[in-house]
Protein backbone atom coordinates (compact mmCIF):
# COMPACT_ATOMS: atom_id res chain seq x y z
CA UNK A 1 0.00 0.00 0.00
CA UNK A 2 1.25 3.44 -0.91
CA UNK A 3 2.08 6.08 1.70
CA UNK A 4 0.91 9.60 0.89
CA UNK A 5 2.68 12.83 1.75
CA UNK A 6 0.57 13.51 4.83
CA UNK A 7 1.31 10.04 6.21
CA UNK A 8 5.01 10.52 5.49
CA UNK A 9 5.04 13.69 7.60
CA UNK A 10 3.30 11.77 10.38
CA UNK A 11 5.79 8.89 10.09
CA UNK A 12 8.75 11.28 10.28
CA UNK A 13 7.27 12.99 13.34
CA UNK A 14 6.60 9.69 15.11
CA UNK A 15 10.08 8.38 14.26
CA UNK A 16 11.57 11.57 15.69
CA UNK A 17 9.49 11.07 18.85
CA UNK A 18 10.77 7.49 19.12
CA UNK A 19 14.38 8.57 18.77
CA UNK A 20 13.92 11.38 21.29
CA UNK A 21 12.34 8.93 23.71
CA UNK A 22 15.26 6.51 23.28
CA UNK A 23 17.81 9.28 23.69
CA UNK A 24 16.54 9.79 27.23
CA UNK A 25 17.31 6.18 28.18
CA UNK A 26 20.85 5.09 27.30
CA UNK A 27 20.15 1.43 28.07
CA UNK A 28 17.12 1.37 25.77
CA UNK A 29 18.96 3.33 23.07
CA UNK A 30 21.77 0.77 23.19
CA UNK A 31 19.24 -2.07 22.94
CA UNK A 32 17.68 -0.39 19.89
CA UNK A 33 21.06 0.11 18.24
CA UNK A 34 21.87 -3.58 18.78
CA UNK A 35 18.44 -4.57 17.43
CA UNK A 36 18.79 -2.41 14.32
CA UNK A 37 22.51 -2.94 13.77
CA UNK A 38 23.56 0.69 14.19
CA UNK A 39 26.69 2.14 15.68
CA UNK A 40 26.75 5.73 16.96
CA UNK A 41 28.02 7.39 13.76
CA UNK A 42 25.76 5.28 11.57
CA UNK A 43 22.75 6.20 13.67
CA UNK A 44 23.55 9.90 13.40
CA UNK A 45 23.88 9.64 9.61
CA UNK A 46 20.65 7.63 9.33
CA UNK A 47 18.41 10.18 11.07
CA UNK A 48 15.48 10.98 8.78
CA UNK A 49 15.96 8.01 6.47
CA UNK A 50 13.28 5.52 5.57
CA UNK A 51 15.45 2.69 6.91
CA UNK A 52 15.86 4.23 10.36
CA UNK A 53 12.19 5.18 10.52
CA UNK A 54 11.19 1.59 9.76
CA UNK A 55 13.65 0.22 12.34
CA UNK A 56 12.29 2.60 14.98
CA UNK A 57 8.69 1.64 14.18
CA UNK A 58 9.54 -2.07 14.28
CA UNK A 59 11.36 -1.75 17.59
CA UNK A 60 8.51 0.10 19.28
CA UNK A 61 5.76 -1.99 17.65
CA UNK A 62 7.35 -5.16 19.03
CA UNK A 63 7.59 -3.76 22.57
CA UNK A 64 4.15 -2.87 23.95
CA UNK A 65 5.42 -1.33 27.17
CA UNK A 66 7.85 0.90 25.29
CA UNK A 67 5.21 1.90 22.73
CA UNK A 68 2.75 2.77 25.47
CA UNK A 69 5.32 4.82 27.38
CA UNK A 70 6.41 6.74 24.27
CA UNK A 71 2.79 7.27 23.25
CA UNK A 72 1.88 8.64 26.66
CA UNK A 73 4.93 10.89 26.65
CA UNK A 74 4.11 12.38 23.23
CA UNK A 75 0.30 12.03 23.36
CA UNK A 76 0.35 9.59 20.44
CA UNK A 77 -2.35 7.08 19.47
CA UNK A 78 -0.83 3.58 19.60
CA UNK A 79 -3.39 2.29 17.09
CA UNK A 80 -2.38 4.94 14.57
CA UNK A 81 1.29 4.10 15.16
CA UNK A 82 0.66 0.41 14.40
CA UNK A 83 -1.44 1.30 11.35
CA UNK A 84 1.39 3.39 9.89
CA UNK A 85 3.97 0.72 10.76
CA UNK A 86 1.94 -1.89 8.88
CA UNK A 87 1.76 0.37 5.84
CA UNK A 88 5.50 1.02 5.99
CA UNK A 89 6.22 -2.70 6.17
CA UNK A 90 4.28 -3.55 3.00
pLDDT digits (tens, 9 = 90+) for 51-71: 999 999 999 999 999 999 999
pLDDT confidence bin for 83, thresholds 50/70/90:
very high
What is the DSSP secondary-structure string of 60-89? Answer: HHT-HHHHHHHHHHHT--HHHHHHHHHHHH
Q: What's the domain count of the chain?
A: 1
- Which residues have a Cβ under 8 Å from the Cβ of 79 and sit 6 or more positions away? none
> Whole-model pTM?
0.94
Host domain of residue 46: 5-89
> Residue 1 pLDDT more than 80?
no
User: With bands split at pLDDT 50, 70 and 90, how would you rate the model's confidence at 18?
Assistant: very high
State the DSSP code for 49: -
Amino acid sequence: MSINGEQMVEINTLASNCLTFLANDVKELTAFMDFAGYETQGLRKAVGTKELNLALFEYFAKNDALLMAMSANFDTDETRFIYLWQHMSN
